Amino acid sequence: MADGSAPGKSVGTQRMCTDGYGNAPGPLTDKDGKYTWRMDVNFMGSRRCYILATLNGFDSTQVEISNVNPATGVNVDLAPIKLSVTGGDPYQLGGADKDVPAKGSVEWKNAMKAINVNDVATAMSQLKAATAVNPKFALAWHNLGVLNDFQRNYADSISAYTSAIEANPKMLTPYVALARVQTRQGDWPGLGKTVASFLPLDKSIIFPEMHLHLAVAQYKLKDLAAAEASANAALNPKAKQSANRAKYVLGRILEAKGDTAGAKQHMNRYLELVPDAEDAAVIKSHIEKIGQAGAAEPELELFK
C-alpha cells in the first residue's frame, strides 16, 4: 500500500506497454503483496512496458520493466508497486477531464503528452503556459507543483501548490503535497496552517497522513499531549487509507513522555505492519537502546 504495508488480500497485476501489443493480465499476489511473473523481456526494444496492480477503488503506481536486462540474471526483484485509494495519491500526475477547463486545455494536453514520454522539461513548460493562460487552472498548478517537487525545486513546488489551493480551495491533493514539503523542511507554523485548512475538507478521511504530519510538528514543538492526540487520529480505523508510520511516531512520543514500555509496543507494532520499512534496521536498533545515551534516532517520517 502507499505507506509500505501489505494489502492484506490478493491483488491483480497487469502489464501495460506503450504500443498496446504487450498488454496482458498477470498473476495474483498473495495477501502480503508478493508475486512471481515469468515473462520474456526485450530490453533492446523501442516500446516501454510497466507492471501495475489492479484493485477496485484503488490507483496503482507503475514499475518499468522495459529496462530489465536479462543478462544480469533470470530472477529480478522489482521495486514495490504501491496502491492508493482512488484520488488518494497527491503525486498522481494528470487528472479527470471534468477538471480541465477549456481555457488552457491545449497546453494541458501538450503537457500530458510530454509526461507520457518522460519529457519533464516540456511538460513543465506547457503547464506554465496553461497557468499563464488560465491562472485559475488548479489542476495545472498542482501538476506543476508535483513536477517541481520531483526535481527538488521546493520553493517553486510550494508556490505552485499554494496557487492550486487558491484556485480551488476544495481540491485536497495540493494541501497534502504542500504539507509533505513543509514537513520535510521543518516549517512547523506553515504546516499547522495547512493542516488546519485541510482537515474540515477531508470529511471521508482520505488522507489520515495529515494528522501524522501534524503530530510530527507538535512533537518537534514539544507539545507531546497534542502530538499524541494527532498520532492517534492518524490511526483512525475509519480512514480510507492507512498511515501506519503514525504507530512509530506514537512510540517516539510515548518515549519522550517516559513511557518506555508503551513506546516499544508501538514501535514494534509498526515493524510488524511494515516489515520492509526502509529504516527498519535503525528502528530495531533504537528499540533495543531506548534510554541509553547515544541511541540512534530514526527520522519520524521518510520522504523520497
Asked whether residue 5 is assigned to any structural domain, the reply reads no
- With contact defined as beta carbons under 8 Å apart, do 300 and 252 qualify? yes
CATH number at residue 168: 1.25.40.10
> What are the CA-CA distances from residue 166 to residues 113, 123, 142, 174 (Å)?
26, 22, 11, 10
The verdict on residue 301 lying in a domain is: yes
Same domain, 139 and 214: no
Let me know if residue 2 belongs to a domain. no
Amino acid at residue number 239 = A
Within a domain: 117: yes
188 and 91 co-located in one domain: yes
87 Rama sector, left if φ>0, alpha if ψ -120 to 50, beta otherwise: left
When divided into structural domains, the chain yields a total of: 3
Is 4 contained in some domain?
no
Residue 252 within any structural domain of the chain? yes
The phi and psi torsions of 215 (rounded to 5 degrees) equal -60, -40
Q: Per-residue confidence of the chain (304 residues) as pLDDT tens digits?
A: 677 777 878 888 888 887 777 788 888 888 888 888 887 776 666 677 888 888 777 778 888 887 777 666 667 788 888 887 767 889 989 998 999 999 999 999 999 999 988 899 999 999 999 999 999 999 999 999 999 999 999 999 999 999 999 999 999 999 999 999 999 999 999 999 999 999 999 999 999 999 999 999 999 999 999 999 999 999 999 999 999 999 999 999 999 999 999 999 999 999 999 998 999 999 999 999 997 877 778 999 988 6
CB 11 within 8 A of CB 54: yes
92 and 108 fall within a common domain: yes
Is residue 133 located within the same domain as residue 65?
no
Q: Which of these, 188, 195, 272, lies nearest to 234 by C-alpha position?
A: 195
Same domain, 220 and 276: yes
SS3 63: strand
Quick one: 43 and 62 in the same domain?
yes
User: Are residues 208 and 302 both part of a single domain?
Assistant: yes
> Do 114 and 219 share a domain, yes or no?
no
One domain, residues 299 and 232: yes
Whole-prediction pTM value? 0.82
The last residue of one of the domains, among 55, 85, 115, is: 85
In a domain, 3, yes or no: no
Say whether both 177 and 230 belong to one domain: no
Residues paired with residue 49 on neighbouring β-strands, in sequence order:
17
Last residue of a domain, which of 28, 52, 85?
85
CB atoms within 10 A of CB 132: 12
Distances (CA, A) of 281 to 5, 268, 277, 296: 16, 12, 8, 11
- Domain range for residue 145? 87-200
How much of the chain, in percent, has pLDDT values that exceed 90? 64
CATH code: domain of residue 219: 1.25.40
> Is 183 among the domain residues?
yes
CA distances (Å), origin 3, targets 7, 18, 97, 208, 274: 10, 28, 28, 11, 8
- Clarify whether residues 154 and 120 are in a common domain: yes
> In this structure, are 49 and 113 located in the same domain?
no
Look at residues 174, 200, 226 and tell me which one is the last residue of a structural domain: 200
- The CA angle 209-33-15, to the nearest 5 degrees, is 105
Q: Which residues contact 73 (CB under 8 A, 6 or more apart)?
A: none
